[in-house]
Amino acid sequence: RSPLRALYHRVCERVLKVLRGKVCVRRTHAYIFCECTHGQAESVLASFDLYIKTHASFSIGPEKGVFLDEVVRREAPLRVLELGMHCGYTSVRILRLLPTSGTLLTVEVDPLTAEKGEEILLVAGFKNSQFQVLPCSSAEAISRLASHLGEDLLDLVVMDHDPEQYLPDLLALQRENLLSKRSVLILNRVAEAGARVVLEYLTTKPHDYTVRQRFKDMLEIRCGNSESF
C-alpha cells in the first residue's frame, strides 16, 4: 500500500471513530462475537485490534498488550488479579500466556459489562476453571479475595479500573497481606490526574516498590527493592 493510501485509510478510520461516538459494550461484544473464530484466543485479540481502529474503545490495544505479554511471559504468574475487566481484551491476553495451573481473577463493577466480558473469555476458549469474573467493585473484591486465594498470594496485579482507586486498592491489598516481595503490579493510565497520588506514594516507599519499566502510560512495578529481583 502506498504511503498516501495508508494515510487516507488512517484518516478514514479516525473519522469513523469520531462519528461512532462513545464506547459501547454491547457493540464491542457483538462485533467480537461475530468476527472472531470461536475457541481461538489469538483470533479474539485480532478482532479487538481491528475493532478499535474504527470504534471508540477502552481496550489497552496491541502495543501496550505486547508490553503486558512480555511481563506475563517473564513472570509466569500463577495467581493474577485484574481490576477493570471491561470487555475482556486484557484478560484474554493474560489468560493465553498463563502456566497450566495459573488462574485469573478479574473484577468488573458494571454488571452488564461483567456478563459480556465473561462471554468473550468463554468465546476465546477459556474454561471456568482458569478464570473467575467478580462482578463488583475493586474494594469489595479485595475484601473477599483471601477466600478465593486460600493460602496463595498474588503474583501479578493489573490495575486499569479507576486511577483514583489505585492507591486505596493497593493499600487494601497490603492490609490483607495478599502481596509478596515478588509480586508485580501493572498500572495503566498513570498519566491521568487520579493516578498522581499512587505515584507519589510509590516514591515514598523505595524499599517496598521499584518501578521496573514504563511503556507509554503503563508502568511495571516490582514489590520489593531491586536487590530482591
Ligand X SMILES: C[S@@+](CC[C@H](N)C(=O)[O-])C[C@H]1O[C@@H](n2cnc3c(N)ncnc32)[C@H](O)[C@@H]1O
What residue ranges bind ligand X (CB under 6 A)? 58-60, 83-84, 86-87, 89-90, 107-110, 113, 137-138, 160-162, 165
Render 101-166 in DSSP notation, one character per residue: T-EEEEE-SSHHHHHHHHHHHHHTT--TTTEEEE-S-HHHHHHHHHHHHTT--EEEEEE-S-GGGH
160 closest CA partner among 77, 94, 226: 94
Q: Select 83 or 202, whichever has its Cβ closest to ligand X.
A: 83
Phi/psi class of residue 39: alpha, beta or left (left: φ > 0; alpha: ψ in -120 to 50)? left
Cα-Cα end-to-end distance for the chain: 45
183 closest CA partner among 84, 79, 104: 79
Q: Select 168 or 224, whichever has its Cβ closest to ligand X.
A: 168
Name the closest residue to ligand X (Cβ). 84
What minimum distance in Å lies between the beta carbon of 56 and ligand X? 11
What minimum distance in Å lies between the beta carbon of 89 and ligand X? 3
Q: Select 9 or 20, whichever has its Cβ closest to ligand X.
A: 20
Q: Select 167 or 210, whichever has its Cβ closest to ligand X.
A: 167
**One-letter amino acid for residue 133 of the chain:** V
Q: Select 69 or 208, whichever has its Cβ closest to ligand X.
A: 69
Residue 29 is inside which H or E element, if any? Answer: helix 25-35
What minimum distance in Å lies between the beta carbon of 207 and ligand X? 28
What minimum distance in Å lies between the beta carbon of 28 and ligand X? 9
215 Cβ neighbours under 8 A, 6+ residues apart: 63, 64, 67
Q: Select 64 or 79, whichever has its Cβ closest to ligand X.
A: 64
Q: Which three cell numbers stand for residue 48?
A: 479487538
What minimum distance in Å lies between the beta carbon of 49 and ligand X? 11
Alpha carbon separation from 177 to 128, 139, 169, 170 (Å, rounded):
26, 15, 12, 11
Q: Select 184 or 210, whichever has its Cβ closest to ligand X.
A: 184
What minimum distance in Å lies between the beta carbon of 158 and ligand X? 7
What minimum distance in Å lies between the beta carbon of 95 and ligand X? 13
Q: Which three cell numbers stand for residue 93?
A: 491476553
